[in-house]
Chains A and B, each alone.
Chain A
Amino acid sequence: MEVAAALVKGNVAAGARAMRWLDDRDPRGADVVSAVIGHTGGAHVVGLTGPPGAGKSTLASALIAEARRREHRVGVVAVDPSSPFTGGAILGDRVRMARHALDPDVFIRSVGTRGQAGGLSRSTHDTCLILDAMGYDLILVETVGVGQDEIEIVALAHTTVIVGLPGLGDEVQAVKAGLMEVGEIIVINKADREGLDHTLQHYETMLHLRASAQPDAPDAWTPPLLTAVATREEGTAAVVDAIEAHGRWLRANGEFAARSGRRARAQAMVLLRDRLSTLLDQHADPQVLAAVEARELDVYSAADALLAGLREALRRG
């Protein structure tokens, strides 16, 4: 496998092509994955999530700069929303990271959500895997601007960074309700804006509530509450410090590998569901479907009949 061999040596074009195959569900993609799997598992996957416009991309750009000073090789997956009507998208995160365009140790990939809820996209996991195999040891995943339910990033990342911003509006409410339960690092970006103190108090209270709701463990991770001005790169070194500290904590507790493992397991299930649903579409008996449509057959009996048909098809191979 030429592409697999090249990408583990860090060849950018090869890595990019493997990502495209996976995106295309080209079988060569799966082959690459099995060929490179031994080269993965080392990367620290960090999710950046928070409300739209919080400054996630700008912060990512500043974090890249700082991480590069510390000689990390940085991969970025930037997810932006696709239009629910047309499926099209303008993927704008990359613009904010443009200054890293020529750094060979930075790889940025933009992806659209393509109808997938949860703030990520179908190919995010695959893209991270390839970046990992390419030797990017720090992978930043910027989700779309999310509300309270869209916290799928937590399942993907080793470390989830919640990016909030000063203000009293809906943004904070959204963060409070969902994201605050899960973040391992909280960054209030745009600390140059009004209302910082109030917002900090608010977050402190929420973190306190969260801590008291959890059982006492001596070596539990305490989510730090940080502030940053991403546009001026202020406070961003501390964010990288916190990311690195959390990485050390994960490793010390055996959580690093455990999280990677859980992610792989979940992803296998996703793939399975995906394939099953394709099979279903292929093998659903049109006569049965026509019968339900004509209301000659009830939906439960129809589902039983379709499943039986699928089993039969699978048995015949």
Chain B
Amino acid sequence: MAGHTRPLRILLAKLGMDTHTVGVTVIAHALREAGMEVIFTGLKQTPAMVAAAAIQEDVDVVGISTLSAGHTRSLPQLAQLLREAGAGDKLLLAGGVIPEEDRPLLEQAGVDRIFTMGSDTREIVDYLNQWWSRQPGSPD
């Protein structure tokens, strides 16, 4: 994390009525343990609510956990809302149950990286740390 004077900030969110929580709980704990600041939005959020929170908190990363097959609609919508608010620079991650077939659609919509079942949280942490070290850090 060369150059950063503060921890990476990530917003974790669940969209729609999908309330599978095991994955997001595991991720939240793992990221905290890796020294990141995790902000959780709560359940049953709309894309607009998540976008508003991401902007107010000005997090570096937005992470969505989606398991109940609502992702093809909600994720592109969220990405769009973030872009419209000038927050398209945030890293957008998704995890959960996301079939191969849907990846192109989501990637095109602006999802930067997808993690599915069996992803090692250490891999996720490494990925985030690497991304974070490439971001412009503190100037001193």
Contacts and interface: CB of A to CB of B under 8 A. Distances in A.
Interface stretch (B55-63, B66-74, B94-102, B103-111): B55-63
Contacts of A19: 58
A88 B6 contact: no
Contact of B138 (A12, A24, A90): A24
Given A13-B85, A102-B49, A95 B40 contact: yes
A159 B5 CA distance: 31
A201 interface: no
Given A12-B55, A16-B56, A24-B5, A92 B40 contact: yes
A89 interface: yes
Interface string A65-108: 00000000000000000110011111110110010011000011
Contacts of A90: 28-29, 32, 38, 40
Contact of B39 (A83, A91, A107, A278): A91
B7 interface: yes
A121 to B, nearest CB: 10
Interface string A19-46: 1100111110000000000000000000
9 contacts: A16-B57, A26-B138, A89-B38, A90-B32, A95-B42, A98-B42, A98-B45, A98-B49, A109-B56
A112 interface: yes
The interface size bin for chain B is: 20 to 34
Contact of B35 (A27, A87, A92, A278): A87
A280 to B, nearest CB: 14
A88 B37 contact: yes
Given A16-B57, A98-B45, A101-B49, A114 B6 contact: yes
Contacts of B32: 83, 86, 88-90
B58 A107 contact: no
Nearest to B44: A98
A148 interface: no
A108 B41 CA distance: 12
B48 interface: yes
A16 B58 contact: yes
A17 interface: yes
Contacts of A112: 7, 37
A91 B11 CA distance: 10
Given A86-B34, A89-B38, A23 B6 contact: yes
- Nearest 8 CB-CB pairings of A with B: A88-B32, A16-B58, A95-B42, A101-B49, A87-B35, A98-B42, A88-B35, A20-B58
A92 B37 CA distance: 11
A156 B57 CA distance: 21
